[in-house]
Structure 1
Amino acid sequence: MNKFDVIVVGAGPSGMMAAISAAETGKSVALIDKNKKVGKKLLMTGGGRCNVTNSRSVDEIISNVPGNGRFLYSAFSQFSNQDIISFFESNGVPLKEEDHGRLFPTTDKSKTIVAGLFNKCLSLGVHYFPQTTVQSLLMENGAVTGVRTDEIDYLAPAVILSTGGKTYPSTGATGDGYKFAASAGHTITRLFATESALISHENFIQDKILQGISLREIELSVLNKKEKAIVKHQHDLLFTHFGLSGPAALRCSSFVNKLLDKGENEVLVQLDLFPDQSTGQLKHEILALIDSHKSVKNALSSLTQERLLLFMLNQAEIDADQPAKQLNGKDLDRLVSLLKSYKIRIDSTFPIEKSFVTGGGVKLNEIVPQSLESKLTQGLYMTGELLDINGYTGGYNITCAFVTGAVAGRHAAQGY
């Protein structure tokens, strides 16, 4: 059998949700994937736990999709994050909420999510073709008619491309979808790494002085040439042997890359270790900690982690072993300034292949927002990371994948 009502290319979260949505209308659906098993990249998400969606309002979710999130309002009006939660709960996959509205399976295992999606596909009669590589789209008179694989042609009046971006090519995300979309006349905007770690060649990074230090709820800002913040993120941060990682760094990465693309050799980020305190409040706290019988490092030991405190004292040219009572006003001002606005030079991010999300993709003015159908080729639909949409970590990208998959699947099944 090689004739179907709907063909879905790619068995990631977006593709499986598209297949489910289409099959729920009663249409025959083929799900084609080059990998041996479904959801290969999905198994890696959330540190293997799978941050499956976010509980925040639609407006807040879209505000956390800096890459063209507003395009998704129509899709969210048809299938939202609350529908994602209901889907998993009703299919025997209970979820739990953690910080920042993030939702995970109660099992803390990504394979629970993958199994929930795939079992639903099978229960609806979706025809699954693993280890099958799509070579090209089949088109006739401006309409899609199917796909050509390395074995046979599969025919259908509706094809959904859910092939993902170019991150982690070992999972099968090698950018095939961009090639297929381009063959149908679509424009592919410049691709770039986002949700990526930040690489710095600062001496303290290369000397691994702060390597391994993890900070909670700091604020990291990306500065422009005039050293004005263009974006700020309050989240967790990790110092590594190459630079900065953790949610705060990942969220800044797309803005760093955009500045680097403008020809800047490096980009400054600014670290505020105490974002919930003003400069005056922090100075008052430090003054309250000063004990004339203690050294500076002992008096301020409760302020932050020891290695970080010693580093900041060194940067402020304060002898950590001197009596705390010897600190003068200028010393305090320098230290507080560093704790509130320490600048770090960033040279680059990880490449797309080692980043979490691909920025850029199929140009959105060539896609119908209500259905995610191509404006250029009848019966061709596109979802997820293939589109020029990218969100922050925290369940936002996978939410976009599920939402666009569900909407495209339903319209592809009903569109003829």
Structure 2
Amino acid sequence: MKCFDVIVVGAGTSGMMAAIAAAKAGSSTLLIEKNKRVGKKLLLTGGGRCNVTNNRPADEIIAHIPGNGKFLYSAFSQFNNYDIMEFFESNGTHLKEEDHGRMFPVTDRSKTIVETLFNQLEKLGVTIYTEAKVEKVLHKEGQIIGVALEHEKIYAPCVILTTGGRTYPSTGSTGDGYKLAKRLGHTISPLYATESPIVSNDDFITEKTLQGLSLQDVALSVLNSKGKVIVTHQMDLLFTHFGVSGPAALRCSSFVNQELVKNEHKAVTLQLDIFPQKTALELKNEIQRRLLEQPEKALKNSLKNLVAERLLDFVLNKTDLSDYQSKQISEQQLDKIVQCLKSFRINAAKTLPIEKSFVTGGGISLKEIHPKTMESKLVNGLFFAGELLDINGYTGGYNVTAAFVTGHVAGTHAANIADYTFLPSVEQD
């Protein structure tokens, strides 16, 4: 009969950190992975460079985790982003800071991060099973007793589920953990795509009028059914053949999906402000000054370089002012141009599906998990960490940080519990 103190299911970001923390705390630890190798999804993060964490204060990091980030306060008080940096630095993997506090390995290769974690697992004597799939989590009398693989059962008083969400299914993230948790009585909050490009069926999108146009530092807002702003993100935006992408769109996507559910899947309105740093009046005055300086010129020529040429053509077409001279523009027509530049409406039909998104929203209901330990409130010895939890952040190292933090906390507490937990008799299993 094979027995361990702690079994970790899923060798991704949170799973490897959970196994390291459990082994460091003195537990005999087994890490089970259904892929041939550990850390498959981690290799893809940060465009293959691995945005390993973010160098911001904890409060700021939690503010960048709009999906239940506050649940992490207790975990962050035990292990945080600075501890993650210290973990890598002390193991000889040097990190560097880039824009918005994003931390990357100096090597610019995510492989370096995966190797550091793997070396630690080996050094601490963690047993690793690859190409092994957990079919069932075994429990008896409200207590975890182990896991069942296809051809064998392995026993332990603590099991940590770290199987990831449903993004990038090619990496093995196919939602197995949700099924295992559900069988143990846990509630799964509805899953939805976050950090995902947004799809629109507006004519200018389907006709590819602005396809490939990139706008810097614009403000994209998601409006509710009453036209009230839910959230605004001021970042770069890219028009694509199916809708909008780029950082501003990705950050708005989870709010779009939540609003679509509330609206019974009727399109959600996005509002784009191309000049967020100027008030409508300031922009109007600037345009007016240009028109007064060159009254005889065609409107298009007077407004040259105000915005990208294709965007200007689009705005003038939309306001029916393409053939006007500067001196012909009335106050009302000027207001139309300003409105088009300051509150350009886009109808969001949906986002790309979870499988093509960066992060899964929804997951194991946090009401059923102790925030201090990541242990289940329903089954003793069952822990969760990483993307399986109903926690989601923006891109920029926030999700990886949440995965490392919850993994470390789960691993440490599982090891403590395993120390004084006796398995019920397991002969019948």
TM, length-normalised to structure 2 = 0.93
Deviation at 1:264, TM superposition (A): 4.1
- The answer to whether structure 1 residue 348 and structure 2 residue 350 are counterparts is yes
Deviation at 1:289, TM superposition (A): 3.7
User: Secondary structure of the equivalent of 1:249?
Assistant: helix
Distance (whole Å) between structure 1 residues aligned to residue 102 and residue 413 of structure 2: 29
1:53 equivalent in structure 2: 53
1:329 to 312, 328, 331: 331
Give the 5 Å matches for 1:111-130: 111-130=111-130
User: Secondary structure of the equivalent of 1:191?
Assistant: strand
- The answer to whether structure 1 residue 403 and structure 2 residue 401 are counterparts is no
Instruction: Summarize deviations over 1:280-326 as a string: whole Å, max 9, x none.
Output: 1222232344441643333323222221122122222221x644344
2:340 equivalent in structure 1: 338
1:170 equivalent in structure 2: 170
Distance (whole Å) between structure 2 residues aligned to residue 222 and residue 259 of structure 1: 9
With 286-295 and 137-146 compared, the bigger mean Cα shift is at: 286-295
Give the 5 Å matches for 1:83-162: 83-162=83-162
Distance (whole Å) between structure 1 residues aligned to residue 188 and residue 265 of structure 2: 24
Deviation at 1:99, TM superposition (A): 2.0
With 262-271 and 147-156 compared, the bigger mean Cα shift is at: 147-156
Q: 1:327 to 1:103 in 2, by over 3 A?
A: farther
Distance (whole Å) between structure 2 residues aligned to residue 281 and residue 53 of structure 1: 39
1:317 equivalent in structure 2: 320
User: Secondary structure of the equivalent of 1:205?
Assistant: helix
Q: 1:112 to 1:294 in 2, by over 3 A?
A: farther
Gaps of 5+ in 1: none
1:298 equivalent in structure 2: 301
2:188 equivalent in structure 1: 188
Deviation at 1:85, TM superposition (A): 1.4
Amino acid of the structure 2 residue aligned with 1:327: I
Q: 1:380 to 1:207 in 2, by over 3 A?
A: same
- The answer to whether structure 1 residue 379 and structure 2 residue 381 are counterparts is yes
Amino acid of the structure 2 residue aligned with 1:309: L
1:414 to 411, 416, 423: 416
Deviation at 1:389, TM superposition (A): 1.0
Instruction: Summarize deviations over 1:200-224 as a string: whole Å, max 9, x none.
Output: 0111111111111122221111111
Instruction: Summarize deviations over 1:125-159 as a string: whole Å, max 9, x none.
Output: 21111111111101122111111112322221111
Distance (whole Å) between structure 2 residues aligned to residue 88 and residue 305 of structure 1: 44
Distance (whole Å) between structure 2 residues aligned to residue 117 and residue 2 of structure 1: 25
- Percent identity between matched residues is 60
User: Secondary structure of the equivalent of 1:39?
Assistant: coil
Amino acid of the structure 2 residue aligned with 1:389: I
Amino acid of the structure 2 residue aligned with 1:363: S
Distance (whole Å) between structure 1 residues aligned to residue 176 and residue 234 of structure 2: 35
Amino acid of the structure 2 residue aligned with 1:125: G
Distance (whole Å) between structure 2 residues aligned to residue 123 and residue 348 of structure 1: 46
Instruction: Summarize deviations over 1:7-29 as a string: whole Å, max 9, x none.
Output: 11111111111111111122221
- The answer to whether structure 1 residue 206 and structure 2 residue 209 are counterparts is no
2:272 equivalent in structure 1: 271
User: Secondary structure of the equivalent of 1:78?
Assistant: coil
User: Secondary structure of the equivalent of 2:135?
Assistant: strand
Root-mean-square deviation (CA), in Å?
Answer: 1.6
TM, length-normalised to structure 1 = 0.96
Give the 5 Å matches for 1:224-303: 224-262=224-262, 263-290=264-291, 291-292=293-294, 294-303=297-306
Distance (whole Å) between structure 2 residues aligned to residue 150 and residue 217 of structure 1: 52
With 4-13 and 82-91 compared, the bigger mean Cα shift is at: 82-91
Distance (whole Å) between structure 2 residues aligned to residue 92 and residue 294 of structure 1: 64
Give the 5 Å matches for 1:351-362: 351-362=353-364
Gaps of 5+ in 2: 420-429
Q: 1:151 to 1:289 in 2, by over 3 A?
A: farther
Amino acid of the structure 2 residue aligned with 1:265: K
Distance (whole Å) between structure 2 residues aligned to residue 98 and residue 300 of structure 1: 36
Q: 1:297 to 1:95 in 2, by over 3 A?
A: farther
Distance (whole Å) between structure 2 residues aligned to residue 108 and residue 214 of structure 1: 26
Distance (whole Å) between structure 1 residues aligned to residue 202 and residue 229 of structure 2: 20
User: Secondary structure of the equivalent of 2:190?
Assistant: coil
Distance (whole Å) between structure 1 residues aligned to residue 214 and residue 43 of structure 2: 25
With 354-363 and 378-387 compared, the bigger mean Cα shift is at: 354-363
2:425 equivalent in structure 1: none
Q: 1:86 to 1:300 in 2, by over 3 A?
A: farther
Distance (whole Å) between structure 2 residues aligned to residue 328 and residue 115 of structure 1: 65
